[in-house]
Amino acid sequence: MKLLGSNTSPYVRKVRLALLEKNIPHEYVVDPPTEPGSLVLQVNPLGRSRIPALILDDGFCIFDSPVITEYVDTLNDAPILIPRDDPAAKLRVKRWEALADGIMDSAIVVRNEVLRPAEKQQASTIAMHDTAVSKALQYASELLGQKRWCEGDALTLADLALVSALLYLDLRFAERDWRSAHPNLKAFFERASSRRSVITATTI
């Protein structure tokens, strides 16, 4: 299978982490949809607005990271990233993913807005999404508490999604001192980012 994406996309990184954690053979192709001739635009009807795209060996294309991660987790049981026998636990993991994706969504809106010429920037949009990130981080911190992992006693998709969101904040908003505000997220991040999968997925 072939994963199409970009090194700066937190959604791509989340999927890469899932593939790497499960040791699933794949080819990662850096293929930003903004580039002329991008394969993403040919295989993904959502085009510029949705990466990554996962092309299976038979040519079938899966798009949108929550759909891809759920499919990837079915390919083997080592490890199981989304609980299968406990509907409540599965719901909690998927809610974590939604929370982390929400952080990414709002952070990207802020990033895109501040890249616009100053006279065209919408201060209200920046403030709204910046506040959304802050509230989501606070919620994540309270939900995590002093636990080692987001759900249960082992790493799950929840952790991969959260570390992807935090990595994106570091990449694009280094001035945001989320570590001081949330020491437990800092400890979680240090634990998660030392994993081989995260090191591999963050090496450009």
The predicted-structure confidence for 2-22, as pLDDT tens digits, reads as follows: 999 999 999 999 999 999 999
User: Are 92 and 26 part of one and the same domain?
Assistant: no
Domain contains 80: no
Domain contains 82: no
User: Are 44 and 69 part of one and the same domain?
Assistant: yes
CA distance linking residue 99 with residue 119, whole number of Å: 32
User: Are 47 and 91 part of one and the same domain?
Assistant: no
pTM tops 0.85, yes or no: yes
Q: How many domains does the chain divide into? A: 2
Range of the domain at 25: 2-73
Q: In whole angstroms, what separates CA 16 from the centre of its chain?
A: 9
Domain contains 42: yes
Structure-block tokens of residue 139: 């919620």
The predicted-structure confidence for 60-93, as pLDDT tens digits, reads as follows: 999 999 999 999 999 999 999 999 999 999 999 9
CA torsion sign, 196 to 185 to 204 to 68? positive
- 81 burial via Cβ count (<10 Å: 0-12, 13-18, 19+): buried
Of residues 196, 144, 172, 194, the one with CA closest to residue 17 = 196
CATH code assigned at 58: 3.40.30.10
